[in-house]
Amino acid sequence: MPRNDTQTPLLELRLPTPPRLGAVVDDDDIVDGDRVRKRWYHYIPLLLAIVMILAPHPSLIVIFVNYYYRVHHAPLRGLVHMCIIYLLTFLAFSSLIVVLARDPGPVIGDKGYGEEAGGSTEREEESFLDALLAPPEGEEAHGPGKWCKKCDAPKPERAHHCGSCGRCVLKMDHHCMWLGHRCIGHRTHASFVHFLICVSVLAAYVAIMCASVVYWAFTHPMAIDETTPVHAILLAFYGLVIGMVIGSFTGYHIYLITYALLDLGSSALADTISG
């Protein structure tokens, strides 16, 4: 009679697979690894911001042709204004492309997202021992230099977890819905501030230039056509509003940067004196 070498143990202990630790995502969201893939409607504010930057240009061309060329016969002066405006527009779009294309700030151990991750989108299965040894939920688990339970990865100092992006971002400033629902972090904060400065200067320049056109049109009503002052009034008001809104936000960021630099300089001076 053949002997059966395979013996079934009388008692076998099988531990259940521990639950995966990760960001809580709605059922309607699409998840690619650890990153929440954006839907088409997330890019509507970005499209609106681009339209707001490009919308004044048809009226600017009307002012250049009717005011500088036909009335004052000064195409060179109009060309200088046009070069300055389009240069500021080009710089704003360059910074916008950097913010959209660059990773905001990957952290060490940030799997499935970032340039240091090597493009891997698969997370290793968490063992039962790792789940037992993981730190508890609360402030200790989410403090600087601790462990992020949502990302299941180390959390360096000045890194924050973004619930919208489903990841930790190094030196996260905020999550901006106007820039494609992306976070502003360590690698994109400088480009973001540069974008704000370019938009603020562009809005102020257009408002001042169109205000001078409006003033000249009111003092010389018979020397210019009827439509050009209307374009100038609308652009002056539009530039004033955008300059006040974006300019105040830009000033706040410049204040934060200046305060951080002064604080860093005072700390370095104190270390030098104490050393």
Sequence ranges of the domains in the chain: 42-105+171-261, 108-170
Average pLDDT, the chain: 78
Residue 254 has pLDDT above 60, yes or no: yes
Alpha carbon distance 258, 201 (integer Å): 19
Beta bridge partners of residue 162, listed in sequence order: 167
For residue 165, CA distances in Å to 129, 245, 262 come to 28, 26, 32
First to last CA, the chain: 87
Question: In this structure, is the dihedral angle defined by the CA atoms of residues 155, 156, 161 and 167, taken in order, positive or negative?
Answer: negative
Beta bridge partners of residue 160, listed in sequence order: 169
Alpha carbon distance 4, 1 (integer Å): 10
Band (8; pLDDT cuts 50, 70, 90) = low
Q: Which residues in 194-212 are b (16+ Cβ under 10 Å) and which e?
A: bbbbbbbbbbbbbbebbbe
pLDDT at 83: 95
Residue 121 has pLDDT above 90, yes or no: no
